[in-house]
Structure 1
Amino acid sequence: MALRAVTFDYWDTLYDGATTPERVALRQGAVRRLLAEIGHEISDADFTALYRASGVEAERWWREEHRGYTTQERIRWILSRVNVERPADCRYVAAAERAVDDALVAHPAPLLPGAGDGIARLASAFSLAIVSDTGFASGRAQDRLLEHDGLLSFFAATVYSMDIGHAKPRPEPFAAALSALGIAPADAVHVGDNERTDVRGALALGLRAVRVDIVRAQGPSAAEFVARSFDELVDYLLAQRGV
């Protein structure tokens, strides 16, 4: 079958996935304000430990449960640990959610070298989609970052784990992107940096898979190709037209 579509992971595939102290500070500040606004006092040391614990728990949701959790779920997990419950429409929780997203836009992650031009080249040859697991910030924030960098219009669909409720390597995120594109798995290749979630997840559903080792060199791969730069990736994919 001819290659017709390319789906992309986001973090460490298009964008540098490393967080920044400035982004963390804004997010911690948002949660601290939430606690203060609802009248809950907590020491700096206890809050720091609680915030870090929420990150460990979110990592477990992703790694062990393959769960697409939302920003609000992580915030409410923090509240539950200090025995605080808030109604579903709590405006303070909603404000904290927005602030978590805004932190990504205020201190944006950089595109990996060559990613911007590479996506523009590939969009002229293939249908493109994002299939990304989200962290603390939402898929809406990730779309805002794509828009800021002039890339959002190149993607026919952006699929995020928090919207699907499942994370890679589960099939649901990949299947949602293929459905949006109207493409069969055999006609698409998924590009990502993670062997467990991106490569194995894509192959299990019948997509082709390419791994990118741009941020870090890794070991052997089940992918059909491993690209070490975006130029190398683009050249390989363009050579697959009609293959």
Structure 2
Amino acid sequence: MEVPEVGAMGWVRVLWRGALLGGVTYGCLVLLLALRLVERPLFGVQRPWTPYITQFVCKMAFRILRLPLIVRGRVMRQRGAVVANHASWLDIFALNAAQRGYFVAKSEVERWAAIGWLARATGTVFIARKGSEAKRQQAVFEDRLRAGHHLMFFPEGTSTDAVRVLPFKSTLFAAFWSHGLEEVMWIQPVTLAYRAPEGCDPRFYGWWGDMEFAGHLLMVLAQRRQGRVEVVFHDPVPVDAFPDRKALAAHCEAAVRKGLEGRL
């Protein structure tokens, strides 16, 4: 999908929306880091305060973009994780706005300029692909789950064009079958459904392939009339209701796929 040209008024929207979004994001980041100086020694891995700041920033992002965010279903109360389809960089804002949780991301993200810093500050769990790191990252994963953190990850492994769901990889689901976690953990499938602005390509909000982040960001910032995004929370399921990680991954994929097909 080609990124449309940004006209004069489009650049005006890019400048004021971008400045406002950047000001809110990094202004609140300073507040988050300051609060974390108190929160961390008092509560350790627990974060009773700072996730509210992250959620506020993400809600404000949609207001600044004038992109309606619709949340359906209920966020689970049980311990466990949220798994969703991955369509856009906007997914991170949508999921954080709809609930308070922590993302699981590949370790490369930690080194990305600006984004990596934000990810670390908001408690993202980074997963290395190296086999030598498996035990260490498994321990981190378990500690965060046992602390009651709702972890969020994208089993597709990559973002898409926003109109389809790729097969779910079962690799990360294996973390729930260790040291008795399967007896207490739940998984909640979530569908992220984007409706493009009227008259635009249905894949407008999708970010995939070799698309450059800057170009896609400019396109979204410049858009006068936005579409909408829906976050649909499906019924959570206990991990021990499934014989293995592949069965659990297949169930979650089916729920997410059905949710998306019903909204396209």
Do these two structures clear the TM 0.5 threshold for a shared fold by scoring above it? no
